[in-house]
Structure 1
Amino acid sequence: MTIEALSADLSFARPADDEQLARAVGGLTERGYNTHVVDTVARARELVRELLPRDKDVFTANSETLRTSGIADDVDRSGEFRSVRATLADESDLRAQIRMGAAPDVVVGSVQAITEDGVLVAASASGSQFGPYAAGAERVIWVVGAQKVVPDLDTALRRVRAYCYPLENERWRQRGAASFVGKLLIMEREAFPDRATVVLVREQIGY
């Protein structure tokens, strides 16, 4: 079977400038998100290690940002953290795996877009990370490259379909499969103080 290659709109790969980042930080803060801006992927990795507890269960959402930054390996393979994924490796029942990932103490992941007024948009084929993102996890940390900051929600949704989806589809195409946008999660405000943290990285990371 031939899986069609899709063209990605590379204008969405351009990192936001300082003014755009400042507006996004203001919007995120107003909406209840703790926000950090760091210059490099390496510093983001260090910061996440500082923020994560060692005595709580930590779940890493599937994310190219976490994979390429090394954060996923830090959590799941170093032995320093109580990794839900490390536990899931010994669990063969799919429903049990989903339940274990649905309500961890902490979830670490990313999103596909952040608007300049602080709305976060996440896309997924299965939606497995959306439960802990929205409410299931006691704490959530998102690591987000500056290229994901966009002017508004319409642009955020366009970014998902015109840029993120073609790149994710290409990643799966290399394995002889295909991806799709199965579910979208739009997060407009955080209800609980200090629950959610966004680490914005000036460098491009993920897609």
Structure 2
Amino acid sequence: MDKNVDWFLQKQIERTMENFEKHNIAAFYVENEGQLLQMVKELISEGSTVGVGDSMTLFETGVIDFLRSGNYRFLDKYREDITSEEKKKLYRECFSADTYLCSTNALTEDGELYNIDGNGNRVAAMLYGPDQVIIVAGINKIVKSVEEAEKRVRNYAAPIDAKRLNKNTPCAITGCCIDCKSKDRICNDFVVIKGQFNKERIKVIIIGKPLGY
């Protein structure tokens, strides 16, 4: 990477982390997947019940495989033989998990987490329930403001995710958001997290590379 681009990105990351800290949200930076997995290992006690939200980032960084092979009670929503009823039960179990891991659709330089959900189980667990929430995000998720965050999600992340999930929505066909009324719409729950009471609960880990959508 060009050293000047790297300088710019580091300054952006520093601003973002400083503002998360001001909002009582612990923020960390790691350079690569190896450092990320080491931090996750340090943050999650062995024997813990661990749930995850839908996230390509967790797959790309090896977190899902780490949880599957570790000494945890992993609530694995991605298990091949899982039924819809089992998944529904698992979602509810996540609310009482010791740790919940997910990514975020966007994080702002002002220190805010912005997410749009289709089902709501991910944002619900982020807001309340699990004792600890670990959010892993690549540098591509950083935006200037909440307004930019919504544009990013609706015009980029959501169409790609709808395509991945084989949803019957206009954006999965055209790649463009038209604020549709489709029954398959995945943009149903819009949530902004601006802070928290307990600094030990939500932890944001920014990894120094583009990840996920």
Displacement of 1:21: 0.7
- 1:122 alignment partner, SS class: strand
Displacement of 1:72: 1.2
Alpha-carbon distance between aligned partners in 2 of 1:137 and 1:65, rounded to the nearest angstrom: 20
Which TM-score applies when normalising by structure 1? 0.83
Alpha-carbon distance between aligned partners in 2 of 1:166 and 1:71, rounded to the nearest angstrom: 24
Pair 1:200 & 2:206 matched: yes
Pair 1:115 & 2:121 matched: no
The Cα RMSD (Å) is: 2.7
Displacement of 1:79: 4.2
| Gap regions ≥5 residues in structure 1 | 1-13
Aligned twin of 1:83: 74
The percent identity for this pair of structures is 24
CA 45–174 in structure 1, closer or farther in 2 if over 3 Å, else same = farther
Aligned twin of 1:164: 157
Alpha-carbon distance between aligned partners in 1 of 2:9 and 2:133, rounded to the nearest angstrom: 25
4+ runs of 1 displaced by more than 3 Å? 88-95
Aligned twin of 2:190: 184
Aligned twin of 1:96: 89
CA 66–93 in structure 1, closer or farther in 2 if over 3 Å, else same = closer
Displacement of 1:53: 1.4
CA 51–96 in structure 1, closer or farther in 2 if over 3 Å, else same = same
Aligned twin of 1:35: 27
- CA shift digits 1:19-74 (9 cap, x unpaired): 11111001111111111111113321222122111132110111000011110121
Structure number with greater CO (CA < 8 Å, separation at least 6) is 1
Which TM-score applies when normalising by structure 2? 0.81
The answer to whether the 8 Å contact 1:34/1:196 transfers is: yes
Pair 1:53 & 2:74 matched: no
